[in-house]
């Protein structure tokens, strides 16, 4: 009899233990906080551009430049995609009846995006002074390999050739620095160009936006910062000898970010879209030379 009671007690203890274990698991699952969904992934700058659907130039895109954009000291900005706020930016592309400008006797100065423009933009006859990572702090002192010229500094190039148009796109690599220091160097660069090429028209180009996913997740290189910087660049324009042009109108999506379908990575256009950019520059320049803005 005692053995039966002992066995019954043991069975009762085991049942109670199982019930306690089950209840603890249910309560633990209920109290566990939900897992956080990570933000949209940002494509690394070292990845090769991915052709857009229907793009037939994949072999060309494999060799298109995809260069890291240097994110310098954080500026405390949080980015979301917004439409360009630049005061001089055109809301529509130049009219189709504007005569495209020739690119003879023309110089482009810029960073990796200008490198892509030199290779895929179709701007025959132009010179390109551009390198990966070029910025306003290095453009006046560093050298570059210019086609049919060789390795040369900007001052050496400007003193050895004559240009009637000079295009400048710089700023994305140094966007994390205080704008005052960037603009001071930019102003000095423009003054050097004017001194060496007094008859040249200068076209300050807005920096292109980055994709929405990059803008949302990058505290430094983001579209609000780019828009603020572009608005300050636009103030250099006097619409007589210096003009401001903004190609974001052909690359942006509806939210003012670099369209994912036109992006080779988070900050560069697809190789196939550089030609569209080159055509836009020629068309926009023709419009300005004809007296339109």
Phi and psi, residue 19, nearest 5°: -65, -45
Judge contact between 250 and 93, C-beta under 8 A. Answer: yes
State how far the Cα of 147 lies from the Cα of 130, in Å rounded to an integer.
11
Predicted pLDDT of residue 115: 96
Where do the H-state alpha helices sit in 32-132? 58-62, 112-120
Percent of the chain past pLDDT 90, that is, above it, reads 63
Q: Is the pLDDT of residue 225 over 90?
A: yes
Dihedral in degrees, nearest 10, Cα atoms 52, 57, 63, 67: -30
What is the pLDDT confidence band of residue 240, given thresholds at 50, 70 and 90?
A: very high
Predicted pLDDT of residue 226: 97
Task: Please state the rounded mean pLDDT for residues 111-129.
Answer: 96
Cβ neighbours around 2 below 10 Å, total = 6
State how far the Cα of 117 lies from the Cα of 200, in Å rounded to an integer.
21
The CATH H-level (homologous superfamily) assignment of domain 85-289 is SGNH hydrolase (3.40.50.1110)
């Amino acid at each position: 009899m005692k053995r039966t009671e002992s066995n019954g007690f043991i069975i009762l203890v085991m049942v109670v233990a199982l019930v306690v274990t089950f209840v603890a698991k249910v309560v633990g699952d209920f109290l566990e906080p939900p897992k956080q969904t990570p933000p949209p992934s940002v494509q690394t700058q070292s990845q090769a551009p991915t052709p857009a659907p229907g793009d037939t130039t994949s072999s060309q895109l494999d060799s298109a430049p995809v260069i890291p954009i240097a994110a310098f000291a954080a500026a405390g900005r949080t980015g979301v995609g917004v439409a360009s706020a630049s005061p001089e930016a055109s809301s529509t592309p130049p009219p189709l009846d504007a005569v495209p400008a020739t690119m003879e006797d023309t110089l482009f100065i810029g960073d990796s995006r200008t490198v892509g423009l030199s290779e895929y933009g179709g701007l025959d006859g132009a010179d390109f002074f551009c390198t990966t990572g070029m910025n306003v702090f290095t453009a006046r002192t560093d050298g570059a390999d210019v086609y049919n010229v060789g390795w040369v500094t900007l001052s050496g190039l400007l003193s050895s050739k004559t240009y009637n148009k000079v295009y400048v796109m710089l700023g994305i690599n140094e966007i994390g620095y205080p704008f005052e220091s960037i603009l001071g160097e930019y102003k000095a660069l423009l003054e050097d160009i004017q001194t060496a090429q007094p008859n040249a028209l200068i076209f300050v180009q807005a920096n292109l936006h980055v994709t929405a996913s990059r803008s949302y997740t990058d505290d430094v290189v983001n579209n609000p910062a780019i828009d603020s910087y572009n608005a300050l660049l636009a103030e250099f324009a006097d619409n007589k000898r210096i003009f401001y042009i903004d190609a974001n109108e052909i690359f942006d999506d509806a939210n003012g970010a670099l369209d994912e379908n036109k992006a080779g990575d988070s900050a560069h256009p697809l190789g196939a879209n550089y030609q569209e950019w080159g055509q836009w520059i020629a068309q926009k320049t023709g419009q300005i030379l004809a007296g339109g803005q």
